[in-house]
Amino acid sequence: MPALAGGFYLQEQSPIEIGRALSGGAAAGDDPSTIYFNPAAMTELQGVQLSAGASALMASAHQTNRGSYRSVPGSTVRVPVTGGDGGNPFESVIPVPSFYASAQVTDKLWLGLGVNAPFGLKLEYDDDFFGRYDSLYTNLKTYNIQPSAAYKLTDNLSIGGGVDVQYVKATLTNALPQVSPLVPTDGFTSLKGDDWTVGWNAGLFYTTGDTNFGVHYRSGISHKLQGTQIISGVAAPLTAANGEFAATAPLDLPDIVTVSMMHRLTPQLRAMITGKWYNWSKFKGIAVTSAAGTTNKELDYRDSYSVSVGGEYDVSPALTLRAGTMFDRTPTNPQYLTTRVPDGDRVWLTGGATWNVSQMMALNLSYAHTFVEKANIIRPDSYFPAPATVTATTLAQTSGNADQVAASLTVRF
């Protein structure tokens, strides 16, 4: 799955929210997906409600070689790294599913369950990619299970929270430069690992009747991936580097703070705004420890934010239209940008609709286009201990955009 938000965070947790560019956020409380955005707003949902949906992501990216090169040990010579542009690293269509269930237990207590994929990234470049020493294949998947509860303190104020039981699985590969540039083939390295761990989230929801306010905090989660590192194809004098080794790698995912407001301008028209802050600065890079040694691919992410605005209009009791826009600042550091996460600032334009088939069933459809700012990559990475150290420097310009179509079905009992 591609990262269609800053870094490799996935915004695609709710088809109804995609249609308003995530502007409903912690304040809307009109769909079971509020379990993810702010479980406190579950108190706006009546009875038992189920929502199942998916987003179909269609992304493209292009890398342009700006003079990539590699060093030669013991020399100041720079050898150009040639190859193709890697092709579009994204699959043609990538699904991101989600499921939510809420239940009103009493007039004060609600329980809920959410299952989704909040972080993810999948790219695969052609084998002859000029940036192959930086990255070839990346597949990061997370699955989040979130049991939640909400309690109505007063007619206006609710609190809520949940536990995030999260599984992560990652596979990362890249080519390795040979000590001698005269060797016609590259070496190769792959890292595979997974981990389970737990986080938490909590929120507040307040309504005046015409205006809703929501605040939500989602804790960062620190994974420790355990798996294997495989190194192959490294030629003399470093053939001893080849092998399969047990490996560990930390993965620190950010805290997220969401502040939202929704206001009913008329009985049919609603305006929404949401701001989010992401504590991405805790993600420093990819550090791998194995019997082959310790490597650290520095990324040095920065804290980031997103701001979205949107609106909805009830054309009739059966049909609601919505639209929105969002600015999403990338957390990537220009000094350490990589083809593994070729990110830039993003602007979303979205639209969607809900068709209430009956009082018990609603169909939500949304579309979003994401504009991604071009960015320059200047990425030096060093391999092998001295005196055989080779530094491969990837110089590239990255550009891309994305479209997505999302749908969900909500059933009310």
pLDDT per residue as tens digits for the range 74-117:
999 999 999 999 999 998 888 899 999 999 999 999 999 999 99
- The band of 291, judged by pLDDT with boundaries at 50, 70 and 90, is confident
According to the model, what pLDDT value does residue 309 have? 99
Residue 405's CB is within 10 A of a number of other CB atoms, namely 17
Q: What is the pTM of this model?
A: 0.94
Rounded Cα gap, residues 348 and 5, in angstroms: 10
Does an H or E element contain 271, and which?
A: strand 269-278
Could you identify the residue written with the tokens 């038992």? Answer: 48
Average pLDDT, the chain: 95
What size, in residues, is the chain? Answer: 413
3-state DSSP helix/strand/coil percent for the chain, to nearest 5?
Answer: 5, 60, 35
- The band of 6, judged by pLDDT with boundaries at 50, 70 and 90, is low
Give the bridge partners for 213, in sequence order.
206, 261
Give the bridge partners for 188, in sequence order.
175, 232
* 97, 127 contact by CB (below 8 A): no
Q: Which two tokens stand for residue 287?
A: 């550090």
CA distances from 342 to 8, 88, 90 (A): 10, 12, 12
Rounded Cα gap, residues 394 and 378, in angstroms: 6
- Domain 15-412 CATH class label: mainly beta
CA distances from 65 to 62, 98, 317 (A): 10, 38, 54
According to the model, what pLDDT value does residue 1 have? 38
Q: Which two tokens stand for residue 220?
A: 């960062």
According to the model, what pLDDT value does residue 318 have? 97
Task: Give the residue from 166, 199, 28 showing the smallest Cα distance to 18.
Answer: 28
Rounded Cα gap, residues 241 and 208, in angstroms: 66
- What DSSP string runs through 311-359? EEEEEETTEEEEEEEEEE-----GGG-BTTB----EEEEEEEEEEEEET
Rounded Cα gap, residues 188 and 211, in angstroms: 57
Rounded Cα gap, residues 57 and 367, in angstroms: 10
Please tell me what DSSP assigns to residue 36: H
Encoded amino acid at 57, one letter: L
Residue 406's CB is within 10 A of a number of other CB atoms, namely 25
Rounded Cα gap, residues 24 and 268, in angstroms: 16
Whether pLDDT at 242 is above 70: yes
CA end-to-end span of the chain: 33
Mean pLDDT, residues 208-232 taken together: 97
According to the model, what pLDDT value does residue 7 have? 76
Whether pLDDT at 217 is above 60: yes
- Return the domain boundaries, the chain: 15-412
